[in-house]
Amino acid sequence: MRAYIGLGANLGDAPATLTAAVHALAALPGAGLRGVSSLYGSRPVGVLDQPDFHNAVVALDVPRGPEPRTGALALLTALKSLELAFGRQPRRRWGERELDLDLLVFGRRRIVVEDGPLPLVVPHPRSAERLFVLAPLAELVPGLVPPGWTMTVGRAARQARTAEAPDAVRRIAAWDAATRTWRPRPPA
């Protein structure tokens, strides 16, 4: 099952953390890394008195599970475990993060799990409005129409870009598959 994972961090050496997180995601049991977006710098959303974020998206093939819901929950559990392993601390909502991993899309299914220890809504409910998610996701799958959306990811990204400040989300590095890290983007 193809899943798209949003990565974000704004504490410590965020680019190094996100590079290590890509490697950790690729090492999950049964997972296959299928793509890594560029690295983006983005202004905080919601809580503004914090450092800028670094964001990216990965495409990951993962086990489907007996049904999509169980596969999505298993992946979400793995994502939360990775966040803890990377030192994520509980803080204010939309606040600083050592590492944030969000399950954005899981196959072609809309999945809602309200009961249990890990509530889950896929596609991620706010991803259609957030350029820091849309820009890297559109790099990987501009033509994707996630379940429940009325437009492609590429079109949603273009619309969000016109609504945001010009430097709110900016591409700062490209993923280099050979070295398995981001290469800084040359100055303009």
Q: So which residues are the catalytic ones?
A: 88, 97, 100, 102
- The rounded radius of gyration (Å) of the Cα atoms in the chain is 16
Dist CA 176 CA 22 (whole Å): 12
Query: In DSSP terms, which residues pair with 9 in a beta bridge?
Result: 54
Dist CA 102 CA 67 (whole Å): 20
How is residue 67 written in tokens? 């049904």
Dist CA 102 CA 49 (whole Å): 22
Dist CA 2 CA 129 (whole Å): 22
Query: Which 8-state DSSP code applies to residue 129?
Result: G
Asked if 4 and 57 count as a contact pair (C-beta separation under 8 A), the reply is yes
Tally Cβ neighbours within 10 Å of residue 122.
28
